[in-house]
Chain A
Amino acid sequence: MVHRRPWLLVVLSLAACSEPITVGNIGFFRGTPLQIKPGESAQLTWEATNATGCTLDPDVGEVPAAGAKLVSPTVTTTYELTCNVAKSKVLIEVRPDVSIASFTASPTTVTADSPVTLTWEARDADSCAIAGVGEVAISGSHTVLPSKTTTYTLTCKGVGPNAVATTLVTVTNPTSLDAPTNVVVTPDDGMLRVTWSQEAGSANLYFAEVGNITAANIDTLAGRVVFRKVVSPFTISGLVNGTTYFLRVAAVSGAVESPLSDEVSGRPTGPANGTDPYFSQQWHLFNTAGEDVNVSPVWAAGVKGEGVKVAVVDEGVDLAHEDLKQNVAPQQSFDYLGNAPVRLAEHGTCVAGLIAARDLNGVGLRGVAPRAQLRSFNVLQDLTSSNEYDAMTRQKDVIAISNNSWGDAWDSTGLLAFADPQWMRGVKEGAQQGRGGKGVVYFWASGNGADPADGPVDDANFDSQANSRFVIAVGGVGRDGQRPSYAEGGACVLIVAPTEGNDGLALVTTDITGSAGYNTGNDSTEHPNPNYSKTMNGTSGSTPVAAGVGALVLQVRPELSYRDVRRVLALSARKCDASSPGWATNGAGLHVNHEYGFGVVDANAAVALARTITPVGPELTASGAAQPSVAIPDNNATGVSSSISLSNTGIGHVEVVEAEVTITHAHSGELEVTLSNGTTQSVLHPRHDCLDPDTMSTQCADIDAYVFTSVRHLDEPADGTWTLTVKDRKTGVTGTFNGWKLRVFGRQ
């Protein structure tokens, strides 16, 4: 059925006049209005100088040198005024009101969730949309799966009132369904094409990397994905060639689901590693015997970071690299040296490849989010306070993920490093105002100073950048599930991601094209293709892996805030190194470890959780302060404590806690500082070696209002007694616990 809405009581304001087009001695030649409907008129006016007469074509003929003429073209017409040799033109556009010629459904009666094809044809429309579907072409067709009797409404806009048409689809509900039959899997390069037959409804496709799938056990199987309400033929892409996948299909209509079909399997085939020749070397993406980020099922579901903008804040990126160029926006990147040639950009090029090297393009390998959009901000080429602020806030309205595999304070010093005030201003602004108030999600490398061969030991909490509540601090885990000896832990570390472990196996990723990168082409231990390197390591390597997962999360739920992403990654992280004594269960039942945060980032679990999680809503804060001013007993396992009680905060779920601590102590490396709410303990400042390797004298002196951050209390309530304990674990120098402030951030 097609019908028209009555005329709106709105007079469309068309362009009042055109800009004069003057040639030679024609002063002006105008049309008013420039757009009319059939049967309406427009007035042409003109004035020429130094001419006795003019000609107006078509259909008018000779006219005076100055005058006006009413014209009523039936079709869009260009009028040309000729005065002597001068010519001028005016286009009068004739546009009928928008209309819809047809809008039909086929079939018009179906069982619930069965495919129905909507077909329409509009005329003289600028745009069309179907309610519940979204914007559609001016003419075309679209398949819908109505779950109940539905009237579909097509609205097209153009000249005149909107044209509206509706079509009714009547839905019935079956009482039972037979299992689909003739399920056929056809392997292709990195994908499986699946076809089947069914009597009614659509289908739920149960897919996993192991067999014996049932509706009851699907949630326990490796690589599982349930593709719901799909129709035959269906393609599962982003798969790993050579791996066998299993699937079963159930017909679904309304509340009725049929038994599962017989199980079938398929093994994608094609050139080695799909069309990405080095993909199989990327153990951090797909590893049958150890840690990986479990991303294959996410790709299979078509989630690859499409549309998510990621800033690589680093030394620079080889933007023309064969495996990056499809995903980079050179005009959106920023060169702090001013269009300088690519140099010293191997680190950033490695980082960029781990995030978003392009998949299935016939070269190289893959990033975790192989369709994300990369930008390079090469601030490390000129790392100043003002540039740090700029890099944290540049394009903050559109940047979703900011990867930072760097710091401005040196690792392995054992020192508490205050962040630059401009940097702090930048991350706060980006997190609170970026992305329309949802915040840029900053991923920050925890640092590599945990266990240096010589020199002091670092903790991520000692670095005010990784320790900021506005960033996600990422530690490292090796292929064996163990923390690499260098990777810094900390109460601020949220998650870990794969990187070179204690077995020395690093990450394979992109490198500067040719011999200018880490891989010069002359090292037999390096990758045989000098455009790639297999030496990327450190928390510089783990951080972009985690950032890529962040991009996948924001593709499926772009409305999530930086606080939501932090929570999604923590709640979905996977426990590793189960025998580590550092594992604890916090008051919300979450496993957490000083060395691993909440565990290894898991792309499949994170994306699944992101699809359903309730956003955190407004941020609530609570705070308190205490000034114990007590002497710290020397070499004493009990130490001194100070408590702050919080009540009626309204914070039912803590997100992050800050403790601003002031201690006078000439050898503060001897101190252990912990924060406890009676349920969960955070080691904010482990006792550590803090000797200058040259002089063997201590470097760590007073702790002067340093802010330590902990994420370990995630989802615990804020109300209660929070206790800061300071222990001096070495005989000799003594000091005073002067005071501390507590700030708790969270939601209801």
Chain B
Amino acid sequence: MHTLLLLSVLAQVSTSGSMAPKAVAAPTMRTWSDGQRTFKLYESVTLIAEPSPTDARRAEVLALDPSATVFLERPTMRIWKTRDAVAVRARFETFRPVFHDLSSGAGRLRVPVGLVCNGVRTAASWLESLERSGSECLPDFWYAPVLR
């Protein structure tokens, strides 16, 4: 069955790393609005999104967290599974948080990549895309497609 997530490439790496192990915190809850309803999102503590993935950046991530694995890779987005997603995001300013619809980490996976205001897509930081959402602007989310 050609279902579920596409191309889950797991890169097992055993080199020594530079990021010290730490306790993983509970997911941070954020909200966004479609102007009528407020939706909750839970930031993944382990998944982190790399837009426009490159081989060079792959090496940099692995240097920072040798235990990191590629959870999912698509042409415009690579989702890493790391020990500490927030720490990796702090190192790479272009990286964006990965959100789930549930605190358990189940359900749809979203990455805020911009804003759509009155039908026009505009650039925005991930935080801005959530906080400016409402009746006129909506987050432009990237989704991991599911084939059925």
Contacts and interface: CB of A to CB of B under 8 A. Distances in A.
A413 B107 CA distance: 6
Given A445-B148, A447-B148, A417 B1 contact: no
A538 B148 contact: yes
B147 interface: yes
Interface in B117-148: 119, 121, 138-148
Nearest to A474: B148
B108 interface: yes
Interface string A336-370: 01001001101100100000000000000000000
Contacts of A386: 114, 116, 121, 140
Nearest to B77: A382
Interface in B23-41: 34, 37, 39
User: Which of B39, B139, B141, B143 has its CB near the most chain A CB atoms (within 10 A)?
Assistant: B143
Contacts of A699: 102, 104, 106-107
Nearest to A420: B141
Interface residues of B, number: 38
Size band of the interface chain A makes with B: 35 or more
B56 interface: no
A405 B116 contact: no
A408 B1 contact: no
B106 A692 contact: yes
A415 B148 contact: no
B90 interface: no
B20 interface: no
A717 B59 CA distance: 64
User: Which of A315, A343, A382 has its CB near the most chain B CB atoms (within 10 A)?
Assistant: A382
A168 to B, nearest CB: 60
A350 B102 CA distance: 33
Interface in B4-21: 4-7
Contact of A347 (B75, B106, B121, B147): B147
A272 interface: no
B79 to A, nearest CB: 13
Contacts of B74: 381-382
A410 B75 contact: no
A540 interface: yes
Contacts of A446: 148
Contact of A384 (B3, B113, B119): B113
A484 B139 CA distance: 37
A45 B142 CA distance: 65
Nearest to A388: B143
B108 A409 contact: yes
A455 B145 CA distance: 20
B143 A411 contact: no
A415 B144 CA distance: 17
A384 B140 contact: yes
A405 B76 contact: no
A382 B140 CA distance: 12
Contact of A385 (B3, B5, B104, B140): B140
B108 A421 contact: no
B22 interface: no
A512 interface: no
A411 B75 contact: no
Contacts of B141: 384-385, 420
Contact of A406 (B104, B138, B148): B148
A337 B76 CA distance: 8
A626 interface: no
A668 B1 CA distance: 29
Contacts of A445: 148
A385 B116 contact: yes
B116 A422 contact: yes
B148 A448 contact: yes
Contacts of B109: 410
B48 to A, nearest CB: 18
User: Which of A340, A385, A389, A540 has its CB near the most chain B CB atoms (within 10 A)?
Assistant: A385
B3 A411 contact: yes
A407 to B, nearest CB: 5
A500 B76 contact: no
A486 interface: yes
Given A382-B74, A386-B116, A405 B147 contact: yes
A380 interface: yes
A424 to B, nearest CB: 9
A705 B4 contact: no
B41 to A, nearest CB: 12
Contact of B2 (A347, A380, A381, A384): A347
A540 B2 contact: yes
Contacts of A447: 148
Contacts of A389: 116, 119
Contacts of A692: 104, 106
A385 B139 contact: yes
Interface string B54-79: 00000000000000000000111100
A420 B143 CA distance: 10
B35 to A, nearest CB: 8
A410 B108 contact: yes
B107 A409 contact: yes
A359 to B, nearest CB: 25
Given A386-B121, A407-B146, A537 B34 contact: no
A186 to B, nearest CB: 44
A694 interface: yes
A500 B39 CA distance: 37
Contacts of B4: 410-411
A417 B148 contact: no
A697 interface: yes
B104 A418 contact: no
A539 interface: yes
Nearest to B133: A421
A270 to B, nearest CB: 33
B7 A344 contact: yes
Contacts of B107: 409-410, 413, 415, 417, 699
A337 B75 contact: yes
A446 B34 CA distance: 25
B75 A382 contact: yes
Interface of A: 315, 337, 340, 343-344, 346-347, 350, 380-386, 389, 405-411, 413, 415, 417-418, 420-422, 425, 445-448, 486, 500, 518, 535-540, 543, 692, 694-695, 697, 699, 704-705
22 contacts: A337-B76, A344-B7, A347-B147, A382-B142, A383-B143, A383-B144, A383-B145, A384-B114, A385-B116, A389-B119, A407-B148, A410-B4, A415-B107, A418-B39, A420-B143, A421-B138, A500-B1, A518-B2, A537-B1, A543-B148, A692-B104, A692-B106
Given A337-B76, A384-B140, A500-B1, 15 more contacts: A340-B75, A347-B147, A382-B76, A383-B142, A384-B142, A385-B116, A386-B140, A389-B119, A406-B147, A407-B146, A411-B148, A537-B1, A537-B2, A538-B2, A704-B37
3 tightest A-B CB contacts, nearest first: A445-B148, A408-B143, A380-B145
